[in-house]
Amino acid sequence: MKPALLSYHCATSIEDAVAALAAAGGDGKIIAGGQSLMPMMNFRLVRPSVLVDINRIPGLDTITLRGNRLGVGALVRHRMTASDETIRSHIPILHGVMQHVAHLTVRNRGTFVGSLCHADPAAEMPMMTQFLNGTVHVAGPQGRRQVAVGDFITGSLTTDLASDEMVYEVDLDTFPEGTGWGFHEFARRHGDYALAAVAVTLEREAGVARRVRLAVMGLDDRSRRLAEVEAALEGEAPDAAVLDRALAALQANITPNGDLNASPEYRRHLANVLAKRAIADAWARAGERSRT
Amino acid sequence: MSGKVDVAVYVNGVMYARHVEPRMLLSDFLRHELGLTGTHVGCEHGVCGACTILLEGRSARSCLLLAVQVDGAEIETIEGQGSIDQLGRVQQAMRQHHGLQCGFCTPGFVMTITDILRNHDVRGETEIREALSGNICRCTGYEHIVNAVQELLSEQERAR
């Protein structure tokens, strides 16, 4: 249970970190909070020759509102995301989600961007980055590029990131005031990885739901938005008949796996239960808006 | 094989400088290099909480940090809480409420509780249990630990 690491580089800037990765010839690894990477290194599932530590790079620990987007730097810890007032007021669903993430001590170290890059299909950050139309800001030896999250996460624990690139920020959608939100997940213990989760936001206009978003986690090899379910709810009041159609669309568009903790059938059952609760919460929280 | 690196850390206010392999975990550094064996090692993958220390005043798993990462940093361990003759306040409360039996998890709990008292606005039993949920105890059933924290929190509340 000891890492098989050979050397360590404490990066002083993004460029310095990228140069260290390039020098490692494909065998380097970035560490931020280390709450996923260090266990994997202790188990020797990951054996980087160089660990490139970004914890001392200045300026990466900021949460910045730019118009209707919110930038989250690579050193923003879960504790900061969970308690940040700008997130609470502009992306209340993310504030709500954070209350489900890990434990106090892990939240002190773990980062939003690190969790996104780890791309665990049962983690909240990849799910919420999908949900919030995240743009991933990547630095590499050839310069900087931006990737839409849908292209960034390529599968379970897999991303588009090259071995000599690092993510220094992700920016996310914010919501207008009055947007209703619901988030429900089921985990065997609070703070553990969830078996399944559903996130919903919507606005309420003239008695119907508008700009509906719905994303699921734990029900496929990666978390994602389900356009078919969103379409079933769009322009409707979520009464029993509408809910039935939405849940049918949900079931038609997921392919859950079975594992030690839950069978595919059980996950399908959870999907319906969690979706119903999340939709009901979002509908209840949405302030009635009159068009202006 | 790369060489060793210099690491200097402040642990409970005392500066220690050592020459170690970059792969050395902070938990092993504290125990094997500094002889501070109060920090216990349970699972070594961040699940059990036994190795919890404070890094710059906030709780962290010392098994998920490399010693080299905390070069220059301020660390607090169970040894800084008190001594056998003079227990720290958190240790006293754990003792009064029978918050331990075998004691293996206790240093981690004490450090987590210290973080809770210093940095978090935790109220009521549910929030206390949630705040403690990253530390595993196989003896007590948690009841007495929760009671100890409850007393410490109300004491803190009264002092405000």
Q: Tell me: the pLDDT tens digits for A91-144? A: 999 999 999 998 999 999 999 999 999 999 999 999 999 999 999 999 999 999
Output the pTM of the full model.
Answer: 0.95
- Which residues have C-beta within 8 Å of that of residue A139, sequence separation ≥ 6? A14, A15, A17, A18, A165, A166, A167, A168
Q: Smallest CA–CA separation between A115 and chain B, in Å?
A: 15
Say which DSSP state A73 is in.
E
Helix/strand/coil percent split, chain B, to 5: 40, 15, 40
In chain A, where the domains are located: 7-53, 63-173, 180-286
Residue A6 confidence (pLDDT) above 90: no
CATH 3.30.390.50, applies to A180-286: yes
Domains of chain B: 5-80 (3.10.20.30), 89-159 (1.10.150.120)
Q: Does B69 touch chain A (CB under 8 A)?
A: yes
- Determine the pLDDT at residue A192: 81
Of A4, A43, A105, the CB nearest to B60: A105
Q: Which residues of chain B have pLDDT under 70?
A: 1-2
- Determine the pLDDT at residue A290: 52
Mutation for A interface: B23, B55, B71, most A CBs within 10 A: B23
Instruction: Provide the H-helix boundaries in A213-263.
Output: 227-233, 240-252
Q: Does B9 touch chain A (CB under 8 A)?
A: no
- Work out the pLDDT band at A211, boundaries 50, 70, 90: very high
Cβ-contact B62, B84 below 8 angstroms: no
The CATH architecture that domain A7-53 belongs to is 2-Layer Sandwich (3.30)
Cβ-contact A215, A124 below 8 angstroms: no
Mutation for B interface: A54, A83, A105, most B CBs within 10 A: A105
Q: Does A8 touch chain B (CB under 8 A)?
A: yes
Q: Does A46 touch chain B (CB under 8 A)?
A: no
Contact B112 A102 (CB under 8 A): no
Say which DSSP state A149 is in.
H
Q: Tell me: the pLDDT tens digits for A259-277? A: 999 999 999 999 999 999 9
Q: Tell me: the pLDDT tens digits for B24-48? A: 999 999 999 999 999 999 999 999 9
Q: Please tell me the class of the A63-173 domain.
A: alpha beta
Tokens 């630095």 sit on residue: A139
Of A7, A42, A109, the CB nearest to B44: A42
Q: Does A51 touch chain B (CB under 8 A)?
A: yes
Type and span of the H or E element at B11 = strand B5-11
Give SS3 for B24: coil
Do the bridges between strand A180-186 and strand A7-10 make them parallel or antiparallel, or are there none, so unpaired?
unpaired
